Amino acid sequence: MNSFGGKWTIDKIEVFIRYLKAYMQILKKYPNWPLLYFDGFAGSGEIQTNEDEVNLMEGVACRVLKLTEPRAFDLFYFVEKDLDKASKLKAIIDIQFPNIQNKFVSWGDCNDKLLSLAAFLRKNENRNYRGIVFIDPYGMQVNWESIEALKGFHLDLWILVPTGSAVNRLLCRKKISPENWFKSLGLFFGVSPDDIKDRFYKPSKQLNLFEESELRKIDRAVDEAAMLYKERLKTVFKYVSNPLELRNSKNNIIFHFFMASNVEVAMKIANDIVKTSNR
């Protein structure tokens, strides 16, 4: 079962559901456009809010399947890499939503399925599809090339970027990170390992014993990571929202939650929702 991260888990879900409701208000005017929902990290259908598995919260999948007014999605595609969780999700949604036909749970890796989604949308008969892609990982599981595959489609992407929880941890402060960590960060951001190094490390003003300047990690690396991801999203989508900052109990940012779209009004709606939630 998926476990509850903290209040930020609730904030993330509420912002996302508020956006979907606003999205449906607009899309109800276009009944000829079929709507798809793609959830790349779907979970087990339930979120465990304490250790003894007694208190359970509904996961995003069920919340989205329940949205029927002013219109519903026509096709639901849920991806989950853990077989037990995928089976549990399928059982839950089959019992709770027997009348929804076009719902599929796929056991696999989100990266592969994003490429399959792009291949599906490229087909002539599917070119009218509009849709939402929800990417809700714990860490840096999504490679940049999978996000890049979404270029040019009528999709709005909501993506949780682990700026504080994963990216920042791979950027050592006391010494420079190992090369393979820069390589992982490069795959995640879609830039070279050297670009990552240049962006997050600067020569120190103090010289060492040999009068050389050593590289030092920049301050505010988490904000810089969010800025870099936003820049990268802007190479795929025309508009990227301001991010929702999700913080842990120590008030440190662990994730930035972005919306990206090719429609300006979509970004404006996302910005309004994020603004009221970031307060």
Binding site for ligand SAM (CB under 6 A): 2, 40-43, 47, 59-60, 79-82, 85, 109-110, 136-138, 141
How many residues make up the chain in this entry? 279
Return the number of the residue (136 or 245) whose C-beta is nearest ligand SAM: 136
- Least distance from C-beta 81 to ligand SAM, angstroms? 4
- Could you give the 3-state DSSP secondary structure of residue 194? helix
- Least distance from C-beta 64 to ligand SAM, angstroms? 9
d(CA 23, CA 15): 12
Return the number of the residue (165 or 261) whose C-beta is nearest ligand SAM: 165
Return the number of the residue (43 or 131) whose C-beta is nearest ligand SAM: 43
CA distances from 123 to 48, 72, 112, 116, 119 (A): 39, 23, 17, 11, 7
Six-digit token string for 74:
């026509």
Per-residue burial over 3-32, b = 16 or more CB atoms within 10 Å of its CB, e = otherwise: ebbeebbebbbebbbbbbebbbeebeeeee
- Least distance from C-beta 61 to ligand SAM, angstroms? 6
Angle value at C-alpha 35, between 151 and 12, nearest 5 degrees:
75
Return the number of the residue (135 or 170) whose C-beta is nearest ligand SAM: 135
- Least distance from C-beta 1 to ligand SAM, angstroms? 9
Number of H helices, E strands in the chain: 9, 13
**Residues 6+ away with beta carbon under 8 Å from 183:** 193
Which single residue is written with the structure tokens 């810089």? 224
- Least distance from C-beta 63 to ligand SAM, angstroms? 8
- Least distance from C-beta 47 to ligand SAM, angstroms? 5
Return the number of the residue (109 or 195) whose C-beta is nearest ligand SAM: 109
- Least distance from C-beta 241 to ligand SAM, angstroms? 19
H-type alpha helices, the chain: 7-27, 60-65, 83-96, 110-122, 144-148, 179-189, 193-200, 221-233, 264-278
Return the number of the residue (112 or 264) whose C-beta is nearest ligand SAM: 112
Are the C-beta atoms of residues 146 and 239 closer than 8 Å to each other? no
256: left (phi over 0), alpha (psi -120 to 50) or beta: beta
Return the number of the residue (200 or 260) whose C-beta is nearest ligand SAM: 260
